[in-house]
Amino acid sequence: MAKIGLYFGSFNPVHIGHLAIAGYMTEFTGLKQVWFVVSPQNPLKKKDTLLADHQRLYMAQLAIGDSDTLKASDVEFSMALPSYTIDTLTFLGEKHPGHEFCLVMGEDNLYTLHKWKNIEELISKYPIYYYPRPGTVKPSSALLDHILATAEIHLANAPRMDISGTFIRNGIKHGKDMSYFLHPPVWKYIREMHFYEK
């Protein structure tokens, strides 16, 4: 049974930090593949800063190229909004019974698990692989403490990179050369389409 890591995100835009994390997961943790699950709407984030779903998916596909270990998924595009991870996991499990799905997330997202829908069911079925994020502080929550003690959680000691979509979007808006933070085909596409310039 192939172990697949699901890396959920808005990928607005996908950047070298995402690719480095996904590459680390497939090379150092035993995950056979990492799928970038491009989310149309994160219930915990505002939608008004997002590019169109198909544009963010296309940039993820550009970044991944012909990789055998990375894949871009639009599975949530046809699901009810807002997208909830447990619903996506259930759907993918039914569609791909030969795969064992796991979650890939940053330490900052790990510390929001107590806010997730059906979290008890989720942690009972799906392992979590998380990577450190600079400056992350664990909130005080008895429920979160219980979740972290109960779930199957693996720390992937990936390189720490303080790169975010917000940083890249702001840089582009202010006329900065952000090419060093993006895979070349993604940067080229952003420039051609004039994304994030206003």
Neighbours of 82 (CB within 10 A): 16
Residues 97-113 pLDDT 10s: 999 999 999 999 999 99
Share of the chain above pLDDT 90, in %: 89
Quote the distance between the C-alpha of residue 29 and its chain's center: 17
Cα maximum dimension of the chain: 49
Domains of the chain: 2-162 (3.40.50.620)
Residues 107-138 pLDDT 10s: 999 999 999 999 999 999 999 999 999 889 99
Within 22-115, strands assigned E span 33-38, 70-73, 99-106
Residues 148-157 pLDDT 10s: 999 999 999 9
